[in-house]
Amino acid sequence: MEPHHANKPRPKLSATKHSKFISCKLYISESRNATAVDAVERASKSDPQVVVVSQFGDHHYNRFRYTLVSYIVVDDGGGGSSAAGEATVVVHSPIRKVLLAMMEAAFSSIDLESQSGAHPRMGVVDDLSFHPVGQATVEDAASLARQVASDIACIAAVPVFLYAAAHPAGKSVGAVRRELGYYRPNYRGNQWSGSVLPDVLPVKPDVGPAHVVSHKRGATTVGVTPWIENYNVPVLCKDVATVRRITRGVTGRSGGLPTVQALALFHGDDCTEIACLLDPDHASAYQVQTV
């Protein structure tokens, strides 16, 4: 599938001054509204020190993914590295301001109550997944992720749920989402439409209000993991239930490939897609194809 908007050349980041970089995958619940997509894309270009490595929109899912990279500056107390037991603190990264601008554009131009698609979601800004790059550590990424989570709660008053290395106990994103009913479609048996969260949340968020302030905005998840790859396998079959049985042979939670997360999702009148998240250190696209 081709991106809704083609990737455009961006300035390259210089590694001469910085050795620590962070990548963030930002998932926005809208790809059909050109005005909203354009607003978010303009915000992504607000600082040349932040590179949009890729962007991908899916019409059936009504979802857009942006992958951004920039450097970080860490407070190491002047010693070159954090002391044992001392928390890592990211004191500056251009990516934080750009993400904030992109999310503000999304919140101001997208109404979740009128949005629908074939991919689960619970918020206009549905998810931010941070990944350390270069000499950056998971702790560096977690510091930045928590700062961005606070930004989201501040600018939009939405509940934010942390996961993986951003969460104090390392709770997985799957566990968070299952508790919130994220994977249960509420429209036509295989789609998600409007707000999917109750006014009173079944789980207390890690940041932000304990209830849904605005069903137009929903809620957000923010996490930190090693680098993951998105890999989708189209299956020319209308029977979602059948493809779900195939999917159980792929996903690690059901005894399939280690660390692989996978969903069977409606993707047009004659296609169901197995949408996978892969940790390339533990599973490959080839392994998914040959299960």
Strands 160-164 and 220-224, how do they pair? parallel
Beta carbons of 277 and 261 less than 8 angstroms apart: yes
Which residue type occupies 42?
R
* Helix H or strand E segment including 285: helix 285-289
Which are the contacts of 189, defined by CB distance < 8 A and separation ≥ 6?
none
Residue 221's SS3 state is strand
Looking at 4, 5, 119, 282, which residue is catalytic?
119
**Alpha helix stretches (DSSP H) within 119-260:** 138-156, 173-179, 240-248
Active site residue 5: no
Beta carbons of 18 and 69 less than 8 angstroms apart: no
Catalytic residue IDs: 119
